[in-house]
Amino acid sequence: MKKLFLIIGAPGSGKTTDASIIAGKNENIVHYSTGDMLREEVASGSELGQTIDGFISKGALVPLNIIIDTIISAIKNAPVDNILIDGYPRSTEQMIALDELLTTEDEIELVSTIEVRVSQDVAKDRILGRAADAKPGEERSDDSIEVFYDRMKIYTDPLAEIQEFYTKKNLLTVINGERELEPIVAEMEEFIKSNI
Ligand code: AMP
């Protein structure tokens, strides 16, 4: 049985950093970031990558079929059974698509959706800090103040519905993401390890 943990959070919440540290420390846990997987496809220079780039550079969501294919292939090809996916779902449409998929999949259990919660001000400071610290060639096309507000709105618009959906299923776990990295990672790791 594959055990799936979804990690959601505003841009700049630190969700990808948190999840990759946890996977790095635990051989039985693997982590995929939807943003990283999509950026890898863009970097490959494929035709699909060019299509994806058109959405990412504007801070827009890539279409449902692309993101669903991305996460399904990550789950199916995961080398271990405990899987963290950060950056999904980002819309009610994505949430429902995964929920329907999971009803037909006996081998995958959604254990929890973990929300890394930060205020808009903290998210903005972190994103602008990341943009200022990026090494030449490693800048993200979407880490700018102009795109930040669009990305934030895209994140917050469906959030209440996503929270309600998973709360009703008793699957929502909220972690305060406004602390130092260490206590956030420790809390998330402890939660994940006690549920696998
Ligand atoms: P992130 O690295 O999580 O901030 O994601 C960067 C960008 O990748 C987003 O602004 C979207 O353009 C795209 N993206 C990431 N996850 C998703 C998703 N679940 N659905 C659609 N687009 C996504």
pLDDT at 179: 96
What fold is seen in the domain 2-187? Rossmann fold (3.40.50)
| More confident: 3 or 144 | 3
Has residue 177 got a pLDDT over 80? yes
Atom of ligand 1 nearest to the CA of 59: 10
- Measured in Å, residue 171 CA sits from the centre of ligand 1 at 22
pLDDT at 141: 76
The pTM of the full predicted model, rounded to 2 decimals, is 0.93
Atom of ligand 1 nearest to the CA of 63: 21
- Minimal-distance CA residue to ligand 1 atom 10: 59
- Measured in Å, residue 10 CA sits from the centre of ligand 1 at 11
Has residue 191 got a pLDDT over 90? yes
Question: What are the domain boundaries of the chain?
Answer: 2-187
User: CB pairs under 8 A, 24+ apart, for 78-82?
Assistant: 78/2, 78/30, 78/32, 79/30, 80/27, 80/28, 80/29, 80/30, 81/1, 81/2, 81/3, 81/28, 81/196, 82/2, 82/3, 82/5, 82/26, 82/28, 82/29, 82/30, 82/192, 82/196
pLDDT at 144: 81
Q: Convert the pLDDT of each residue in 104-124 to its tens digit.
A: 999 999 999 999 999 999 999
Pocket, ligand 1, Cβ cutoff 6 A: 11, 34-35, 38, 55-56, 59-62, 67, 87-88, 90, 94, 142, 151
Q: Convert the pLDDT of each residue in 120-159 to its tens digit.
A: 999 999 988 877 888 888 887 777 888 889 899 999 999 9
56-65, 69-78, 140-149, 174-183: range with lowest mean pLDDT:
140-149
Has residue 90 got a pLDDT over 80? yes
Has residue 186 got a pLDDT over 90? yes
pLDDT at 157: 97
